[in-house]
Amino acid sequence: MPAASRLQRVGAALALAASASAASWAAGRGGGGASPPGLEAARRRVADPAAAVPPRGAQEAALAGAARAAPLDLLVVGGGATGCGVALDAAARGLRVGLVERDDFSAGTSSRSTKMLHGGKEFDTFARVIVNAAGPFCDSVRKMADKDAPLMICPSSGVHIVLPDYYSPEGMGLIVPKTKDGRIAFLLPWLGKTVAGTTDSSTTITMLPEPREDEIQFILDAISDYLKIQVRRSDILSAWSGIRPLVTDPSAKDTGSISRDHVVLEDYLGLVTITGGKWTTYRSMAEDAVDAAIKSGRLKPTNGCVTEHLRIVGGDGWDPALFAILSQHYICMKKARNGKVIPAVMDTAVSKHLSHSYGTLAERVATIAQNENLGKRLAHGYPYLEAEVAYCAHNEYCETAVDFIARRSRLAFLDTDAARQALPRIIQILASEHKWDKARQNLELEKAKEFLETFKSYKNAQLTDGKHAGK
């Protein structure tokens, strides 16, 4: 399952655990021995077919209801991998937890490995401890506590490009530990395409980072030395930049020599900052941050850390053969040779995608596809279904078109042009689910196109580059 898609399952499960443990949204691993506290209840809750994330209004009300006399134990700032991991860990320990994010789950660095609360209104909420998990923006949060706070983030740009599948053999990748100029490069199969990267250079912090052409060129040059085919700029389907929140080391000359280890510190009373690290260690990072928060606020959890035993939603009871069951029992709509749309068996590519992306919840998506006539693909050559848009609107806080193309699916990262072509239908479905008027639909289209312009595919860049020029 792609990293950002995994985060949607964690994030949607978490939502805002202000009054109940978010552990009830995660499933425990099987195996012998006694289960940690709360895991049996978690298994029962996740198996409930009626289980759904609370409405956004209820979440905002819970935040606003955290008064000075009855504060949350812990408020997390930032809904990326680290922030969601912290909220999950803390809630699973029985603490009252809130999480605020100015954009969307995984909207920043986590989606670029690179709406919980964004309604244009303000209200006070109170918590015994604040955990700053704002990634590259954590210094901005620290400056709210002290405007003279010294900067600790050294932002680094990591650029990746996506190429057609024929650039890499299925199930086989290439890692170059030292390129001609001493950097690292890789070429790996990813979701039916090929992803190549990466760069590591100083950058400025922005909400929508864009890859520079020289960074794209470096990746093309690095992989061309190891491939027999012509490596062409015109083959790039998508290219993006993510910002790594590296911790500043005064003795380091460049970001490549800065440690990737995470740092937890409390340089201001009641404000615990967690930064650095990487996707693969987010639960370990979260455990350290929650331990620090408990110590800072003298909090009283009901149990210790149990995230070692928690699977993401859809993981409990998942079986590799689930895709075959989906293909056998569900239908999708397909075009016949005469152009008519007719019911047909769900094809293997779609059923595998649903199984690996949604786990045991895949049947919910398949049911929507079958019963609500939303079984057509959103883009030619990609397994994403119309039903996923409707499902994510109600179950994963998909509030905008960008939410879907970038973080509920990976279409924007896989193929910028395909994402652009799918936008009208995605917006149409979201409009139906969220009751948008025409003005809102037009705004969504405009903002989504603006977002996609930061992905420098060949069609977006509209240039040739000499050595790698395509015909």
* Residue 7 and residue 144 in one domain: yes
The C-alpha torsion from 18 through 20 and 25 to 28, rounded to 10°, is: 120
* Residue 368 and residue 299 in one domain: no
Distances (CA, A) of 428 to 56, 386, 406, 435: 21, 10, 17, 10
Whole-number pLDDT of residue 32: 42
Residue 31, exposed/middle/buried by CB under 10 A (0-12, 13-18, 19+)? exposed
Those residues with Cβ within 8 angstroms of residue 214's Cβ, 6 or more apart along the chain or in another chain = none
Give per-residue pLDDT as tens, 17-59. Answer: 433 333 333 333 333 445 655 556 555 555 555 566 777 778 7
Q: Answer whether the bond into residue 367 is a cis peptide, omega within 30°.
A: no
Q: Return the amino acid letter for 72.
A: L
Does residue 464 lie in a domain region?
A: no
Looking at residue 190, which CATH number applies to its domain?
3.30.9.10
Those residues with Cβ within 8 angstroms of residue 196's Cβ, 6 or more apart along the chain or in another chain = 160, 161, 162, 163, 167, 185, 186, 187, 188, 219, 222, 223
* Cα distance between residue 95 and residue 430, in whole Å: 34
Does residue 466 lie in a domain region?
A: no
Tell me which of 234, 250, 266 is where a domain ends. Answer: 250
Q: What is the DSSP letter of 442?
A: H
* Cα distance between residue 163 and residue 443, in whole Å: 30
* Residue 416 and residue 449 in one domain: yes
Contact 2, 110 (CB under 8 A): no
- In the block, which residue shows the tokens 């680094």? 156
Whole-number pLDDT of residue 377: 94
* Residue 328 and residue 444 in one domain: yes
Tell me which of 250, 271, 297 is where a domain ends. Answer: 250
* Residue 224 and residue 265 in one domain: no
Contact 73, 127 (CB under 8 A): yes
* Residue 159 and residue 147 in one domain: no
Number of neighbours of residue 202 by Cβ within 10 angstroms = 12
Q: Return the amino acid letter for 106.
A: S
* Residue 246 and residue 265 in one domain: no
Does residue 96 lie in a domain region?
A: yes
Does residue 115 lie in a domain region?
A: yes
Backbone Cα Rg of the chain:
22
* Residue 121 and residue 158 in one domain: no
pLDDT tens string, the chain, 471 residues long: the values are 444 443 444 443 344 343 333 333 333 333 344 565 555 655 555 555 556 677 777 877 888 778 888 899 999 999 999 999 999 999 999 999 999 887 655 444 444 443 233 345 677 889 999 999 999 999 999 999 999 988 888 888 899 999 999 999 888 899 988 888 788 899 999 999 999 998 888 888 888 889 999 999 999 999 998 898 999 999 999 999 988 888 875 445 555 556 668 899 998 999 999 998 888 899 999 999 999 999 999 999 999 999 988 888 888 889 999 999 999 998 776 666 677 767 777 899 999 999 999 999 999 999 999 999 999 999 999 999 999 999 999 999 899 999 999 999 999 999 999 999 999 999 999 999 999 999 999 999 999 999 999 998 887 665 434 444 444
Does residue 32 lie in a domain region?
A: yes
Does residue 193 lie in a domain region?
A: yes
Looking at residue 36, which CATH number applies to its domain?
3.50.50
* Cα distance between residue 24 and residue 46, in whole Å: 7
* Residue 293 and residue 354 in one domain: no
Whole-number pLDDT of residue 311: 85
The candidate with the shortest Cα–Cα distance to 371, out of 381, 363, 361, is 363
Whole-number pLDDT of residue 169: 86
Distances (CA, A) of 286 to 5, 155, 173, 275: 19, 21, 30, 10
Whole-number pLDDT of residue 18: 36
* Residue 439 and residue 422 in one domain: yes
Number of domains the chain is built from: 3
* Cα distance between residue 247 and residue 258, in whole Å: 7
Domain span at residue 186 reads 153-250
* Cα distance between residue 77 and residue 459, in whole Å: 37
Looking at residue 445, which CATH number applies to its domain?
1.10.8.870
Does residue 221 lie in a domain region?
A: yes
Whole-number pLDDT of residue 115: 26
Those residues with Cβ within 8 angstroms of residue 77's Cβ, 6 or more apart along the chain or in another chain = 83, 99, 100, 130, 131, 132, 133, 134, 141
Distances (CA, A) of 388 to 186, 327, 375: 31, 16, 9
Does residue 470 lie in a domain region?
A: no
* Cα distance between residue 226 and residue 185, in whole Å: 11
* Cα distance between residue 91 and residue 15, in whole Å: 11
Q: Is 398 helix (H, G, I), strand (E, B) or coil?
A: coil
* Residue 13 and residue 46 in one domain: yes
- In the block, which residue shows the tokens 């790996």? 188
* Residue 334 and residue 450 in one domain: yes
Tell me which of 292, 311, 330 is where a domain ends. Answer: 311
Structure-token pair, residue 167: 């650039």
> Which H or E run includes 385?
none
